Amino acid sequence: MLTKARIRQVRSLSDKAARSENGLFVAEGRKMVGEALAAGADIERIYLTGEEGAGGVDEAVRRGIVERVSDSEMERMSHLKTPADMLAVIRMPADGGEAAFPAGELSLCLDGVQDPGNLGTIIRIADWFGIGRVFCSPDSADCYNPKAVQATMGALFRVSVGYGPLDSALAEAAVRGEAVYGTFLGGDDLYRAELSAGGIIVMGSEGRGISPQAAALVNRKLFIPPFPPGRHGSESLNVAAATAIVCAEFRRRVRAAR
């Protein structure tokens, strides 16, 4: 039986301050926990109400980090409206992922993306398109927010996510000759513009787009055109949807060049 203090600690990880203080976050559901185990994440504890044999937790059972709990205890710990039968408490990466953008690779840079669901979906998109680095401005949502974690569908354990001032990171990349892309209404047509295999794609916030500070460091502006050209429809795209479109076109160009 879990103590009230343990339940309170797990529940408190819905709060960013508690996550930062403890260096822990929560992932829920057999798929999410299975992805964490497969990626070698530093799992502190797995709580389980169902059968141990499912979900790839056999090795975790042998390591002694799996604890069976009651349905009511899981409900009190869970951050989901409908609790899953498995919950893991995981340690955040020690390095915080604050390194600069890797040279010659395609990376994503998020400027003030504040919705955790959008952030998590973008991390999942990055994983799908083989982008291993996502760098976020300090005012972006926390990737360890429970809603963001669940939205990644396990991609968080394969994609490096870091936070820091964008101006210094983008300026450093530009100095070494990296292409810095961004989406703007006045940019070049995404489907006609020249795109490189590597570089940095900057995506702006849901409300204001790319900030003036980051925009000043973008050296290749892109525009996602509506169809048919010139048609007046929706004012803008959801940032996660726009990210998927841009990433897909970059990867299509790489395939077409082979």
Report d(CA 221, CA 119) in Å as an integer.
22
CA distances from 96 to 91, 93, 100 (A): 11, 6, 12
Report d(CA 90, CA 79) in Å as an integer.
15
Give strand pairing partners of 184.
Answer: none
Q: Is 241 helix (H, G, I), strand (E, B) or coil?
A: helix
Q: Can you give the pLDDT at residue 53?
A: 57
Whether the CB-CB separation of 245 and 128 falls below 8 Å is answered with no
Q: Can you give the pLDDT at residue 104?
A: 84
Q: Can you give the pLDDT at residue 140?
A: 96
Question: Number of helices (H) and strands (E), helices first, in the chain?
Answer: 10, 10
Q: Can you give the pLDDT at residue 64?
A: 86
Q: Where are the alpha helices (DSSP H) in 129-225?
A: 146-152, 166-175, 212-215
Q: Can you give the pLDDT at residue 232?
A: 72
Domains in the chain and their CATH numbers?
Answer: 4-91 (3.30.1330.30), 106-257 (3.40.1280.10)
Q: Which amino acid is at 236?
A: S
CA distances from 180 to 108, 169, 177, 207, 216 (A): 10, 11, 9, 21, 10
Smallest CA-to-CA distance from 220 within 192, 195, 246, 245 is with 195
pLDDT digit string (tens) for the chain, length 258 residues: 789 999 999 999 999 999 999 999 999 999 999 999 999 999 999 999 976 655 567 778 778 889 999 999 999 999 999 999 999 999 998 765 555 688 889 999 999 999 999 999 999 999 999 999 999 999 999 999 999 999 999 999 999 999 999 988 898 888 888 999 999 989 999 999 999 999 999 999 988 899 999 999 999 999 999 887 777 767 778 999 999 999 999 999 988 877
Q: Can you give the pLDDT at residue 191?
A: 96
Q: Can you give the pLDDT at residue 130?
A: 96
Largest CA distance in the chain: 63
Q: Can you give the pLDDT at residue 58?
A: 74
Whether the CB-CB separation of 181 and 202 falls below 8 Å is answered with yes
Report d(CA 106, CA 57) in Å as an integer.
34
